[in-house]
Amino acid sequence: MGHLRSPYPFLSLTDTTLHKHIYKGVNFASGGSGILDSTSIFIVSTGGNDMFAFYAQFGPVNATQREKFVATLISNYEAHIKLVEDDNY
């Protein structure tokens, strides 16, 4: 994406710096996991930047446009997962 370094962590930004960096990308990453069955919950979230960019470009859209965009995201995600599976990572 052309970054010389990782995007700034969202929680480290002030109102002033957030406005400066939000359109270049910010890092919302967090993580955690457990070993025991009672604590090993994994949630994967992706596509947030795509949704933000879509709505920033097109604004509110009708249900058909929204569903078509989400279907495109899902299709691309499935293709990436299949590539990883095929390469035996």
pLDDT above 90 as % of the chain: 22
State residue 64's pLDDT score.
94
From 15-19, 33-37, 76-80, the region with the lowest mean pLDDT: 33-37
Does residue 41 carry a pLDDT above 70?
A: no
For the cut 70, the answer to whether the pLDDT of residue 3 exceeds it is no
Mean pLDDT of the chain: 81
The tokens for 18 are 């957030």
Give strand pairing partners of 9.
27
Q: Does 77 score more than 60 pLDDT?
A: yes
